[in-house]
Amino acid sequence: METFCSNFDLGSSISKSLIKPTSKSLFSCRFSSINHGKTPRFRGVVPQALGRKEYPIAQLKKKENENLVKWVGKGVIGLAAALSLCNSPALAESLTVAFPVSHTPEVNTVQRTLIEAWGLIRETFVDPTFNHQDWDLKLQQTMVEMFPLRSEDAAYSKVRGMLSTLGDPYTRIISPKEYQSFRIGSDGNLQGVGLFVSVEPNTGHLVVLSCVENSPAARAGIHEGDELLEINGERLDGVDSETAAQKLRGRAGTIVTVKVHRGNGAGLSGYKEVKLPREVIKLSPISSTIIPHKMPDGRLLKTGYVRLSSFSQSAAMDMENTIQDMENQGVQSYILDLRNNPASLVMAGLDVAQIWLDGDETLVNTIDRDGNMAPISMVNGHAVTHDPLVVLVNEGSASASEILAGALHDNGRAILVGHKTFGKGKIQSVTQLHDGSALFVTVAKYLSPALHDIDQVGITPDVQCTVDMLNSPKDTFKDRSASSSSLEADSCIMVAKHELDIQETEGSAS
């Protein structure tokens, strides 16, 4: 959505690279990054996106480039600049690369940003072939293309163009203003229309993953699966999800016009244009209620229904408080609803998993660019409750939602009910660059604890809901005050209750 939650899996910390100019025409860039977030309560080899350590950004082999020499000889390079990159504090190995320094200050600033982004990607991007291209040459080509430009926007377009050649829609750069909005959104507050949007990998189209309940977009009848075509009359062909999200955000009280194409949903098809008022969107990730029901033997049981709509920084704490409160009210089983949760913070998803699991269970396995697999496991975990649990998932459950669902399912803690998940098995790091912009890089892929591949595959639930009975909670559970009776029409919840009844009956029999 406007918070980027649908677009990225983030670790618990932000890395910041430093660039130190040494003169007007010659500067040396030493890349080092330090994670400043809290150390996660996990063991194992954790990728930079999730861990806390200092790491070098670029390890370069020495290499000559004939094209670069030709550029210098022809005078294409006006003021020369040198880039020094090292693979250790002792400067064990370095490479100096000359490039044309722009006379336009704004463009020169973006040139430095380009170097930082290039170095980070060179060291950490999950595909070591960089989509089968010469990444060093790509830097030099982009620098030369950037040299005659006269505006910051044009220069950033060149950077984004270079990143697009990696073939990964999740590796991207955002402006300082966009990054500030992201940080505000991940804290749980935003001014916008309440849309989660993402680029569909197979088609490149911008699609709606879900809407924040009772938001302007939800009230206007925009649904998951709708294709976003225009914003304020501007076509979105080739526009990435973050750029679209930025266009949707704005001061509360202003109006934005969006055009969507309805497809697949409920057999409907067509175009729809609506004017949406921007509002302060409260991203409270937890909704809950207690559903009382009778067992076949006449016993009255209480089932706690908890819907997790996003993974904000407060999600795990909110979840723990909610479960503890329900335990105090005598709840005996739980339904955790992750449907239409496109995820955000990977660490938040791992923290939520610990609420339900004990011991040293593996939560997820990561695979780095060299194919090395490492588990991320809990350390001496203590579950808040051991009551029976069913987890609801669907096509809108992505990324951290899939990590959480996989962790609970593969460790034998929960039964999965619903429909196959989205299939986003990538982990991103985010680095704040020197000009306040941020670079998102796909640094690893992940497998479930049972080593099931998730990326572009998804997770298939144990029990599926019949399509003709579906009634999504977005239509029946619009706020915390929703009654348990309003959930009775949801077939997936009906199926979940049946599975819980079976567990309760088997537990009583034993």
- What SS3 state is found at 117? helix
CA distances from residue 321 to 186, 329, 385 in whole angstroms, order as listed:
20, 13, 12
CA separation for the pair 60, 337 (Å, rounded): 47
* H or E element, residue 83: strand 82-86
DSSP 126-140: S-TTTTTS-HHHHHH
CA separation for the pair 123, 119 (Å, rounded): 6
Q: Which residues are catalytic?
A: 399, 424
Contact 45, 31 (CB under 8 A): no
Detail the DSSP E strand segments found in 177-254: 189-192, 195-199, 206-211, 227-231, 234-235
Parallel, antiparallel, or unpaired: how do β-strands 255-262 and 227-231 relate? antiparallel
Which residue's structure tokens are 């006379």? 103
CA separation for the pair 229, 263 (Å, rounded): 12
Give the max Cα distance, the chain. Answer: 90
Contact 78, 24 (CB under 8 A): no
Cβ-based burial of 389 (10 A; exposed 0-12, middle 13-18, buried ≥19): buried
Q: Which of 168, 165, 174 is nearest to 139 (CA)?
A: 165
Contact 335, 500 (CB under 8 A): yes
* H or E element, residue 427: strand 426-432
Detail the DSSP E strand segments found in 368-423: 373-378, 389-393, 415-418
Contact 318, 172 (CB under 8 A): no
CA separation for the pair 309, 361 (Å, rounded): 25
Cβ-based burial of 433 (10 A; exposed 0-12, middle 13-18, buried ≥19): buried
- What SS3 state is found at 482? coil
* H or E element, residue 32: strand 32-34
Six-digit token pair at 410?
Answer: 């593969």
Sheet holding 300-308, edge to edge: 286-294, 300-308, 333-337, 389-393, 415-418, 463-464
Six-digit token pair at 217?
Answer: 């977009």
Beta bridge partners of 334: 304, 389
